[in-house]
Amino acid sequence: MKTDRTRLIFLAAAILGFVMIFAMQRTMNEYIVSIVNFVGIYIILAVSLNITNGFTGLFSLGHPAFMAIGGYVTAILTLPVMKKAMFLPDLPSWLAGLQLPFFPALLIAGIMASLTALLVGVPVLRLRGHYLAVATIGFLIIVQVLITNMESLTRGPLGLNGLPAYTNLWWVYPWVLAALYVSWKIKFSSYGRTLLAVRENEMAAQCLGVNLFRTRIASLVIGAFFAGVAGGLWAHLITAITPNSFSLIMAFNIVVMVVVGGAGSISGSFLAAIIFTLLTEVFRPLEESLEVFGIGEIFLALVLIMILIFRPKGFFGSREPRFLTGRNA
Amino acid sequence: MSLAYIAQQCANGLILGSMYSLVAIGFSMIYGISRLINFAHGEVVMIGAFLTMGLFQILGLPFPLVAAAVLALGAVLGVMIERAAFRPMRGAPQVTGFIASLGISIMLQNLGIMVLTAQPRNFSFPAYLQQLVNIGPIGIRIVDICIMLATPLLLAVLLFIIHRTRLGVAMRATAENLDVARLMGIDINRTIMAAFAIGSGLAATAGLMWGGKFGQIDPLMGFIPGLKSFVAAVIGGVGSIPGAILGGYILGMAEVLFVGLLPPIYSAYRDAFVFGTLIIILLVLPNGLLGKETEERA
Amino acid sequence: MVKRFMLTLGVLLLAVMFAFPAVAEEDTIKLAGLFNLTGGMSSIDAPGLNGAKLQAKLINEAGGLLGKKLEVVGIDTKTDQKAAATGAKKALSMGCIAGLGYGDTTYVMAAAPLFQEKQHPFVTSGATHPMLPQWVGDFMFMACFGDDDQSFAIADYSVKTLGAKNVAVWTDNSMDFTKALSKFYKQRIEELGGKIILEDFFMTGDKDFSAQIARLKNADPKVDCVFISAIPNEAGLTVKQIREAGLTLPIVSGDGFDTELVTTVPGPQLANDVYFSTHTYREDTRPEVLNFIKEYEKEYGRPPENAFAALGFDAVGLIADAIKRAGTTDGPALRDALKTTKGFKAVTGEITYSRASGVPVKGVSVISVKNGVYKVEEVWTPAN
């Protein structure tokens, strides 16, 4: 339940964020700004996966597939008509003449990702645990293979490049806020308690009248929406997208963030996303000066294992830090 | 499409399936006993392959000795991984163990790149193994025949251990219920260590076979067998050894037959077909082929 | 709980401060060496950085450029596009006056547009797609030839020298490089009156080619030679398996086959009747080449692993030559100097940027492998 104190903190943090963005755009160099952008996108990804994996306990490794769908949809919709003719000459005519601004494109991308989640979820969410994990890996690979081979729509392995560089902090931050807000609202509502109940003990939840199926699908769909939007933001940050941009390795990275933060903890995912994204950059100067490449990854893995040994349930377990909620959540 | 062609493809599928099975068994064993997904399993395969290369090509030891040494060293490696990553995590939620093993996998891969460089290396077997032999319409190499025979042999030994020895009984008991097994006086640490040792020994041997079949190894080669063994074990029912064997063969056959029997245009879609089939299997049998319902009683 | 939270935030802030590029102000001319030193592309890219650093070292030993030392900052982008984009941004914020690197178009496309935007040249060592300069812009340069040239070279060789009339084409469908190579090869074969009897596909990472080989065996009419569009990882495997199956037809390919693996994996007996087009340096007796191989062995203790080492060397050489001629490291001036490069004696051949497409006019070597021995059969030059 959100007390007034929580609401106030949230509002204050949001405003502070905007002020900081204003300052950052003015003072810091582009490299740092792009890192902050990526941090933001990873926060959206971790927080949205937290809804699916953390709250509901669905071991889904398919998040990058939703990113890919979102990314490609956004890219195709925002590409200027001339470039579309050059890159994708075989596009159906209604699509070829279309060019949308960023925001509607992102929304449509998120919706497409959600629809896919719905389609895939209906058969697949009957599975549990590791079986679900394998099914989602399968889903991811199928999406990758389809994207690689449907050249008329996606240009195959070459991917799409020269995408308009829309993404910047002004776009990323509101979506971060949206993801956090939605997560928080869900977690501290009756619906959220339903999700957590499903995770803890499905049979007991069912005995209490929870419709297992609908609950799980909804959590997958919501997570997929934000993943799709994140994919669109990603594509327009790098200005290029290929079938391999969103791979199984990325799925592992996001799952790591959720688990290390504490499955089910929003602040945990938030913090873990920031820490891991920054750590990869922090080790870079070390690698470059020592000229031993690969040592950064090793350190990262070591840090990961250390954290898990000392806090096997993640930073915050499935709770939020007390000062944010005003009471024991 | 002639019968000979189909027979050849089936033979290829069986060989590939044998290798996947070997890796999948180790994976399932470890899961069955400790309920932990060991993602570093693929890296054991890689290390097995490089050990073989080192012992055989660089030190020049006789081949049967190398094979035995690789099995033993693989077992030792498995025990080390267990001590380092899994023992501290016992009792933690499953996903934690999974992530920890992922961490070990990343470390091993990058250590490999740093020490060995990322260049793929040539892997050669003694010449008598490379000979091409024609059995009827099928062309097959001696090393392939060895793989196809060695796998059931190793499996037989494994099943013997599991069903006819005290260690085996202990492992089965621990797999069924760890706490009660402990109450019965079974040394849990030793049992789990044994499971890791056997599983990893098998994986290292699979690495030896992998190198022999394809002739080329590199530090990143473990990721694919690791992933496929996970998939195969799950398809067969996680924790079930016969299931892992079945899963491995199905995966191998599917991979070869989808490319072999469909027109070339679809060769690029192979992975999609294979995983599509696997998903369908899972939808029909949600606990895998031979898995058991693990419905927790309230 | 609050204390711990604050502590974590504190650590975070420290971390952010570390992310600021290390400000070591020695006065050097910095070049960004963007390569995938870990991850799937590392076997191709790592030698490129080695070659680049070697060239910088040799230039510094000869006195440097414009009175300063040349420095190649190696940046590992981990076979990941995101890392490529952030790496490029970091390089630019560090004050690198030009970028170089990569053996594959995907990563060039993530990094080079950022250099174009800031008006600094980017010279790719190994990405060979002929449309690159058009896609990125006038600050994009290629140290290597285009895929069209190398495919045409080997296609000409297949028909004119090997006498092939019916060919089979195997394509790695998961990389744009290999697909482009196939496209140009087929185009040239048909122009020369040949026929494409069989087309087959596979993906990067595939280990087993028995299905494709079986189809090749059963092809009707009989195939004279097979063109395999693959990268080094699959090069050795395909040759080995084709020869093990008893097929003796010539195997041809592009620079993806320029690797030791093509002889070591099949072994000297089976590595026979293989022909590929590649960057001109292997088995070449030009003084630049011999000098390069000698220096590489001296510095790294082993001969260059593949052509990308030589190309990395050349990329730095090109930039250095342009800096000398322009007399400055200013972006647009450097671009103009690079554009007017004529007859630059690189290790991988002479480089001239005379075409409107921006792809350099370079010779292509056709190399044969017979019983495990490499030999340069001919050097093909483009018509224009």
Q: For residue C12, what pLDDT band results from cuts at 50, 70 and 90? A: low
Under the banding of pLDDT at 50, 70 and 90, the label for residue B292 is low
Instruction: Please answer whether residues A35 and A187 qualify as being in contact, where contact means their C-beta atoms are separated by less than 8 angstroms.
Output: no
Helix (H) or strand (E) holding B162: helix B142-164
Test the B interface: residue of C42, C172, C259, C305 with most B CBs within 10 Å: C42
* Alpha helix (H) residue ranges in B54-141: 63-81, 94-116, 127-130
Chain A hits for B283, CB-CB cut-off 8 Å, are 123-124, 126-127
Chain A residue with Cα closest to B223: A249
Q: Do A128 and B96 touch (CB under 8 A)?
A: no
Q: What is the pLDDT of residue B11?
A: 85
How far is residue A110's CA from residue A52's CA, in Å, rounded to a whole number?
A: 16
pLDDT at B44: 92
* Nearest residue on chain C to A145, alpha-carbon basis: C174
For residue B29, pLDDT beyond 70: yes
Question: C99, C118 in Cβ contact below 8 A?
Answer: no
Q: How far apart are CA A126 and CA C83, in angstroms?
A: 37
Pseudo-torsion of CA C170, C171, C172, C175, nearest 10°?
160
Under DSSP, is residue C199 helix (H, G, I), strand (E, B) or coil? strand
- What is the pLDDT at residue C5? 53
How much is the pLDDT for A328? 44
Q: What gap in Å lies between CA C162 and CA C26, rounded to an integer?
A: 56
List the single residue in A with minimal CA-CA distance to B282.
Answer: A131
Confirm if A233 and A41 have CB atoms less than 8 A apart: yes
Q: Which of A123, A130, A148 sits opposite B238 (nearest CB)?
A: A130
pLDDT bracket for residue B43 (50, 70, 90): very high
Chain C partners within 8 Å of A307 (Cβ)? none
- How many alpha carbons fall within 13 Å on the CB side of residue B100? 28
Question: Using 50, 70 and 90 to split pLDDT, how confident is the model at C369?
Answer: very high
| CB–CB contact A255 B269 (8 Å) | no
The neighbouring-strand residues paired with B216 are B122
The H-assigned helical ranges of A125-159 are 129-149, 151-154
**A161 to C109: CB separation less than 8 angstroms, yes or no:** yes
B100/chain A closest Cα distance in angstroms: 6
Q: Which residues of chain A make contact with C90, given a CB cutoff of 8 A?
A: 31, 284
Return the pLDDT at C225: 93
Q: How distant is the Cα of C351 from the closest Cα of chain B, in angstroms? A: 28
Q: Is B160 on the interface with A (CB under 8 A)?
A: no
What's the mean pLDDT in B284-295? 73
Contact A321 C5 (CB under 8 A): yes
Torsion of CA B150, B151, B152, B155, to 10 degrees: 120
Instruction: Report the share of chain C in percent with pLDDT over 90.
Output: 32
User: Mind telling me how many Å the CA of A58 is from chain C's nearest CA?
Assistant: 27
Q: Which of C38, C173, C208 is closest, CB to CB, to B12?
A: C208
Say how far apart CA C5 and CA C181 lie, in whole Å: 55
Flag if A278 and C106 touch (Cβ within 8 Å): no
Given pLDDT bands bounded at 50, 70 and 90, which one contains residue C231?
Answer: confident
Interface of B with A in 75-104 (CB under 8 A): 85, 88-89, 91-96, 99-100, 102-104
Name subunits touching C (3+ CB pairs < 8 A). Answer: A, B
In this predicted structure, the answer to whether residue B298 has a pLDDT above a threshold of 50 is no
Q: Which residues in B lie closer than 8 A to residue C266 (C-beta atoms)?
A: 215
Cβ within 8 Å, pair A38-C173: no
Q: CB of B160 within 8 Å of any CB in chain C?
A: no
Report the gap between the CA of B289 and the closest CA in chain A (Å).
Answer: 11
Is residue C170 very low, low, confident or very high in pLDDT (cuts 50, 70, 90)?
very high
| Mean pLDDT confidence for C22-34 | 74
User: How many angstroms separate the CA of residue A81 from the nearest CA in chain B?
Assistant: 30
Chain CA centroid to CA A93, Å? 32
Cβ-based contacts of A311 with chain C (< 8 Å): none
Higher pLDDT pick, C305 / B203: B203
pLDDT band at B47 (very low <50, low <70, confident <90, very high): very high
Q: Which residues of C touch A32 (CB under 8 A)?
A: 16, 19-20, 93
Of the candidates A30, A245, A288, which has its C-beta nearest C75's C-beta? A288
Yes or no, beta carbons of B216 and C236 under 8 Å apart: yes
Residue C319, pLDDT > 80, answer yes
Q: CB neighbours (10 Å) of residue C1?
A: 12
Q: Do A305 and B93 touch (CB under 8 A)?
A: no
Q: How far is B271 from chain C (nearest CA, A)?
A: 10
CB C64 within 8 A of CB C27: no
**Chain B residues within 8 A of C204 when measuring between CB atoms:** none
pLDDT at C22: 47
Q: What is the pTM of this model?
A: 0.85
Which neighbouring-strand residues pair with C351? C344
According to the model, what pLDDT value does residue B143 have?
78
Mean pLDDT of C34-41: 84
The answer to whether the beta carbons of residues C134 and C160 sit under 8 Å apart is: no
Q: Decide if C173 touches A, using CB distance below 8 A.
A: yes
Q: How many CB atoms lie within 10 A of CB A241?
A: 30
Kindly state the average pLDDT of the residues B226-253: 88
How many other β-carbons are positioned within 10 Å of the β-carbon of residue A228?
34
**Contact yes or no for B106 and A124 at CB 8 A:** no
Q: Smallest CA–CA separation between C143 and chain A, in Å?
A: 21
Give me the total of CB pairs closer than 8 Å, taking one residue from chain B and one from chain C: 94
Q: What is the pLDDT of residues B127-160, one digit of tens each?
A: 666 677 777 767 777 778 888 888 888 888 888 8
Here the tokens at position B190 are 């030793």
Decide: residue B259, CB within 10 A, 0-12 exposed, 13-18 middle, 19+ buried. Answer: buried
Nearest Cα of chain B lies from the Cα of C326 at a distance, in angstroms, of 38
pLDDT in tens, C259-295: 888 888 888 888 999 999 988 777 778 888 899 999 9
User: C86 and A281 in contact by Cβ < 8 A?
Assistant: yes
- Which residues of B are less than 8 Å from A133 in CB distance? 234
Q: Please answer yes or no on whether A238 and C82 come within 8 Å at the CB atom.
A: yes
Take residue B243 and report the two structure tokens written for it.
């299931």
3-state class (DSSP) for residue C301:
coil
Contacts of C173 in chain A (CB under 8 A): 148-149, 156-157
Neighbouring CB atoms inside 10 A of B151's CB total 26
Residue B4 token pair: 């000979």
**SS3 state of residue C275:** strand
Q: Is the peptide bond before C304 cis (omega within 30 degrees of 0)?
A: no
Measured between beta carbons, the chain C residues lying within 8 angstroms of B2 are 218
Q: Which A residues in the span 183-202 are in contact with B, Cβ-Cβ below 8 Å?
A: 201
Q: Which residues contact A181 (CB under 8 A, 6 or more apart)?
A: A10
Tell me, what's the pLDDT at B185? 87
Instruction: Check whether C383 has a pLDDT greater than 60.
Output: yes
Task: Note the residue count of chain C.
Answer: 384
Q: What is the DSSP letter of C21?
A: P
Mean pLDDT for back-to-back runs of 10 residues, chain A (329 residues): 70 83 79 87 93 84 93 89 78 78 90 94 85 89 89 81 82 89 86 82 81 86 94 90 87 89 86 88 77 78 84 78 58
Residue window 219-258, chain A: list those with CB within 8 Å of chain B: 248, 252, 255-256
Q: Using the predicted structure, report yes or no on whether residue B296 has a pLDDT greater than 50.
A: no
Query: Is pLDDT of C171 > 90?
Result: yes
Distance CA C35, CA C51 (A): 12
The pair of structure tokens assigned to B276 is 């599509």
DSSP string computed for B170-186: HHHHHHH-HHHHHHTT-
Contacts of C77 in chain A (CB under 8 A): none
CA A18 – CA A170 distance, rounded (Å) = 8
The residue among C215, C306, C308 with the most chain B CBs within 10 A of its CB, best to mutate, is: C215
Give the pLDDT score at A324.
65
Of residues C163, C162, C221, C231, the one with CA closest to residue C196: C221
Residue B169, chain A, CB below 8 Å: the answer is: no
Residues of C whose CB is below 8 A from A238: 81-82, 84-85, 110
Chains that touch B (3 or more CB pairs under 8 A): A, C
State how beta strands C166-172 and C225-229 pair: parallel
> What is the average pLDDT across C348-363?
86
* Amino acid type, C301: G
